[in-house]
A and B are shown apart, each in its own frame.
Chain A
Amino acid sequence: MTDAKAVSEELQSIGDIDRLIHEPARLMVLALLYVVESADFTFLMSQTGLTWGNLSSHLSKLEEAGYVDVEKEFKGKKPHTMLHLTDEGRVAFREYRRSMKQVLDDLPD
């Protein structure tokens, strides 16, 4: 095996990292939803410091990917949204952690 090919294979593991999760704001949201059962929009905003627009946009992407599920409910007359990770989202987050750990552990000092 040539050196160039070996390097290419090494770099492949970095390329395999889930880019949807790798974005810092989405990673924050996923990490938070991973450790709780569910949370509403306001809680995610207050904990992550993201603005509504940002959070809404990231959640839409995560929902499209099937990582986050949205439970819509009404509290009195007010709409209320609780969000939780799907099983797919949990697996993807665990896999992302594993991949990142591996990539960073393998880096030379």
Chain B
Amino acid sequence: MSEKIDLKELERRAFRSTFQDGLWDIFLGLLLLNIGIGTIVGGMLEEAEVSLLRIMLMIVPWPFLVLIAFWAGKKFITTPRMGLVKFGPQRRAKMKNLRAVLFVSVLLLVVMFFLGWAAMGNGLPWWVNEIPLPLYVWPAQTIVVFGLAAYFLDVPRFYAYGVLYGLPFPAGMLLVKNTDLTVLGSVAIAYSVPVGVMVLIGVILFVRFLRQYPAPAEGSIPEAEFHDGC
């Protein structure tokens, strides 16, 4: 037996294990897919002169459906297999900090993105006008937001997801500008690659999780028997 039990690493591993069911990856992939579909459908409907309110009504519900599916997956599929755990005060404080930092970061991301967009061509320095702001503001901010999440959650693959989230917007713009592809085709290609990568990783992790943690058989609830045994 090793004389060293690295308790910090043990806690980190236990915490990280709650992110190994693949549902976060699928959720983030589908959320990005929603942004992509929203961009395409929104553009098409706008061309067809459909009112903004109707466009919003058609686009906005989808992310909520993805969120509900994620919640249901956690509650009914993965948590019953993996079990419940409450982490200590230090981890809870870290999560609280993460929530605050992410809230401010996302707020800044939205504000800067729209300010940058609105400011384009309005007497700003030449280098700002030459380079479309969303081309670098969006990726920089998604990398920062996902980087913070990866750091606080100890989930390294979220660093890569920051890049994948930042990629479609500038990639779509570059494809439109430099190829003969239609706007629709460019956007579809730009989104499908990162979405595909995230969902694929999620599915692989999910399948591995289901194999590793089979569902407890009906009627054999360990807790109930343990109650009797005490």
Contacts and interface: CB of A to CB of B under 8 A. Distances in A.
Interface of A: 24, 27, 31-32, 34-47, 52, 55-56, 59-60, 63, 70, 72, 78-82, 97, 100-101, 104-105
A40 B80 CA distance: 10
A56 B10 contact: no
A36 B91 CA distance: 9
B7 A34 contact: yes
Given A36-B88, A40-B84, A56 B11 contact: no
A4 B208 CA distance: 57
A56 B87 contact: no
Contacts of A31: 5, 7, 10
Q: State the majority secondary structure of interface residues on A.
A: helix
B82 to A, nearest CB: 5
Please name the 3 residue pairs, one residue from A and one from B, whose CB atoms are nearest each other, closest first.
Answer: A43-B83, A42-B83, A35-B11
Contacts, number: 95
B84 A56 contact: no
Given A42-B216, A46-B213, A56-B229, A81 B14 contact: no
B149 to A, nearest CB: 21
Nearest to B5: A31
Given A36-B14, A56-B229, A43 B7 contact: no
Contacts of A43: 82-85
Interface in B84-116: 84-89
Given A36-B85, A56-B225, A105-B3, 8 more contacts: A38-B85, A40-B85, A41-B83, A41-B226, A78-B221, A79-B223, A80-B223, A101-B3
Given A36-B14, A100-B3, A46 B83 contact: yes
A81 B227 CA distance: 8
A31 B14 CA distance: 11
